[in-house]
Chains A and B, each alone.
Chain A
Amino acid sequence: MSPSSVEEATSALAANPDARVFAGATDVVPQMRSGRIDPAELIDLKGIEELSSVSDDGSKWTIGAAVATSRLTEDEAFSGEFPGLSEAAGLIGSDQIQNRSSLGGNLCNASPAADSVPAMIVNGARAVIAGPGGRRTVDVADVPTGPGQTCLQEGEIVVAIEVDHKPANTGEAYYRLIPRTEMDIAVVGAGARVTVGDDGTVTEASIALGAVAPTVVRVPDAEAALVGNRIDDDTLAAVAAAASAACSPIDDMRGTVAYRTQVAGVLAKRAVQTAAERASS
């Protein structure tokens, strides 16, 4: 079914807990084919205007949960303000996938390796959730609770992602490592955002890592190493050490525990460097 309102979608989902909502279906179809899910009903969310719109009310961006990531990467105002988040969203699959994948889907699929999630988290993004009981707003960081698991209750859907406009002198970046140049799942992903004062010291910092734990993780020790300090070799070494220490990854075909742990430090450092360059430009 293709509902035209949020209420229609959430009541259909609440009435049929074995139904599955989808936006681009880039994760839902492979999961159906592999037998991981067998939905009794498919609910297409793209017909709901709120889920398919992008708006800027002057204080924040509101990105409909089903908006194709290609629309975000092509949006010059959004990509100009949030190059890191735009680039992270643009890393999800090929051009074919980009025309279907969405921030809402990437978040709700709850892969620890989801590229857009660390970038959303360092930008303080919030998920607007609607359900039979009304609406609530939750930090993006609190939506995934484990691989494939979210905090969504029965009948709830993510309607939109909200991102406040960036403060002055603030830059953000996202890097991921894959063994090829395109079309792969992150071995490690690292997002960073820093606000740099006039004297060159960091006043605010946020670091998040993907693919190194059951969910995307913030790295408070790396953030603490940045705040109050200049971004020099000692600070970056402390960021890298804290990022590596925050990892509890799995060994799999994409990388070993030792490799992922080391790469997390390197990528966190580079993301901070790029974020700092963007903060001063």
Chain B
Amino acid sequence: MTRTHVNCTINGDEVDFLSEDGTTLLNALRDDVGLMGAKEGCGTGDCGACSIIMDERLTCSCLIFAPEAEGSTIVTVEGLADNSELHPLQQAFLENAALQCGICTPGFLVAAKALLDRNPDPTETEIRYALAGNLCRCTGYDKIIRAVQDAAEELRVNA
């Protein structure tokens, strides 16, 4: 495996790092870029804890090889808040107690953002399908769904 120099934009900042071809983007984000928000749950694309938005598409960063990020624009959970002001999704997750252990939360937040970016007024069914790629073993999902509904409303009111 050779090392590749990767240039990309992450949460609005131009970032470059060196990565081995077989390294996943998740590991590069955590180990080389220092962004610890995306988590490794399963490492096989089943749990969604590593979800990021890459070139406006929701993906599992554990299934992307780091060199694929060359030239891309990436949003991770660290890019949601506006400095110290939480994103409406983050605020709604807190207010609805939509998390317990928190490992899955960054993935849920990013997946929910990807949903609301393209569908500002989703039905409950649409939310459940859109979040089907994110597993939570604590909450039973209902509080997460309510949080996304509340955040969607908040974002629509302030749009």
Contact = CB atoms under 8 A, between A and B. Distances in A.
B75 interface: no
Interface range, A side: 20 to 34
The 5 A-B residue pairs with the shortest CB-CB distance, nearest first, are A94-B133, A182-B132, A30-B44, A99-B57, A96-B133
Interface stretch (A21-29, A57-65, A108-116, A227-235): A21-29
A94 B46 CA distance: 8
A93 interface: yes
A31 to B, nearest CB: 9
Contacts of A183: 46, 132-133
7 contacts: A2-B68, A2-B70, A26-B63, A29-B43, A94-B132, A96-B58, A100-B64
B57 A97 contact: no
Interface of B: 1, 21-22, 24, 43-46, 48, 51, 57-60, 62-65, 67-68, 70, 111, 114-115, 129-130, 132-134
Contacts of A42: 21-22, 65
Nearest to B52: A96
Contacts of A106: none
A30 B43 CA distance: 7
B132 A26 contact: no
Contacts, number: 76
Contacts of B48: 94, 96
A70 interface: yes
Q: Is the interface of B mostly helix, strand, loop or mixed?
A: mixed
A224 B57 CA distance: 44
A22 B68 CA distance: 11
A96 B114 CA distance: 10
Nearest to B68: A44
A1 B4 CA distance: 9
A142 interface: no
A41 B45 contact: no
Given A96-B58, A99-B57, A183-B46, 19 more contacts: A1-B21, A25-B65, A29-B65, A30-B45, A41-B1, A41-B21, A42-B65, A94-B48, A95-B58, A95-B133, A96-B60, A96-B63, A96-B111, A97-B45, A99-B59, A100-B59, A100-B60, A100-B64, A182-B132
